[in-house]
Amino acid sequence: MNGFLLAASALAAVVGLVHTMLGERLIFRRLRKGGVVPTFGGELLAERHVRILWATWHLATLFGWSIAGLFWWLALPTSRPVVQSPAPWILAAAMFGASVLVLVATRARHPGWVGLLLVALLAAMGSRG
């Protein structure tokens, strides 16, 4: 079992869970008028914009969990040939890019960039076989 890729998997799953839970608590709870999907955007956002923001928010979580699943699969001994391919490096680069995006967009005030960077570093270390 590749410990680095297993750790990257676990951390990516946790980052996704925290992302969804805090988004619901800190952002979307205020935009909800009773339904599951928030619809209230005040004077700034139309209902359809609030709905797509909510969907996109959780889409990012689903993609994070999907990447966590790929890291878990890559950590298995049976995936050794794939680990030696560019696949883990591509995933690590995606997580690194996401980290830089959050870092720059929030001027390092949002802690998500740290989690994403750690996932990228763990994946890169695990990619060495």
pLDDT tens digits for range 1-52 = 999 999 999 999 999 999 999 999 999 999 998 889 999 998 999 999 999 9
Domains of the chain, residue spans:
3-126
| pTM: predicted TM-score of the whole model, two decimal places | 0.90
Q: Where are the alpha helices (DSSP H) in the chain?
A: 3-26, 47-75, 80-83, 87-106, 112-126
Residues 6+ apart with CB under 8 A from 120: 92, 93, 95, 96, 99
Q: For residue 53, give both structure tokens.
A: 């923001």
Average pLDDT over residues 93-108: 97
Q: How far apart are CA 40 and CA 28, in angstroms?
A: 9
